[in-house]
Amino acid sequence: MNKINSLFANSKDQKLLSLYFCAGCPTLEGTADVILTMQSRGIAMIEVGIPFSDPLADGPVIQSAATQALKNGMTLTKLFAQLKAIKGQVEIPLVLMGYLNPILHYGIEAFCQSCVDAGVSGAIIPDLPFDDYLNLVKPAADKYDLRIIMLITPETSEERIRFIEDHTDGFIYMVSSASVTGTQKSFDNQKQEYFRHINAMNLRNPRMIGFGISNAQTLKAAQDNATGAIIGSKFVTLLNESKNADEALDKLFDALSK
């Protein structure tokens, strides 16, 4: 069974925590250490960012990390080699998050095959049009048992959400607000109503809420309204400051308790 499906099948009553970091930042060769440290500290699933020069859905923190990673020399080919080297040690799901341009350059089928060879269970491609997903990406992903995770926002219509639900597997990435990535102190009533509305739809796919989670209040709101939470910008900031994954996780867990 795909590791993503296995995680959610065995964690229905748990409040999962998934973290994002950008491969190649703060150091080119640090990807493996960050992943293995996260795993040892109880992180349920890891999103590994593929650095790209024009990350439209990301705020300044992740944009800066991507720029640094590219300066460090990170490429998709190098990332797959790093992941393949630790494949036997990684037990939790790895999800690559990246934009369509580098993936098209690499080749869609080659990308899906390399994901499986490197122990990757899924991919998030924020700028992938849904028609292209159905016609170009899904056939290759299905062939290699790779989950393509789609995003929904407060602006996504119920009809569209149902359509996504019918044509995807793994989980749905529920973006907390119609904005770029970044931290927030709290989720306002409008966002809370959005969470409640999606809950009332009784979707088959589990959901993870991301964008803006950085403290106890936002974490609780996400975990109360979905299977779990995804944290990116806050962890990326702490990792870049400390240059040490263990120390960054200590600081993150401290922030999430307040």
Torsion of CA 218, 92, 205, 124, to 10 degrees: 80
Q: What does the DSSP assignment read for 195-254? A: HHHHHHT--SS-EEEESB--SHHHHHHHHHSSSEEEE-HHHHHHHHHHS-HHHHHHHHHH
Is residue 132 part of the annotated active site? The answer reads no
The pairing of strands 147-149 and 122-124 is parallel
Encoded tokens for 1: 């069974």
Catalytic residue among 13, 29, 47, 254: 47
For residue 149, give the nearest of 43, 2, 14, 1 by alpha carbon.
2
> What letter does residue 43 receive in the DSSP assignment?
-
Is residue 58 part of the annotated active site? The answer reads yes
Catalytic residue among 13, 29, 54, 58: 58
Annotated catalytic sites, by residue?
Answer: 47, 58
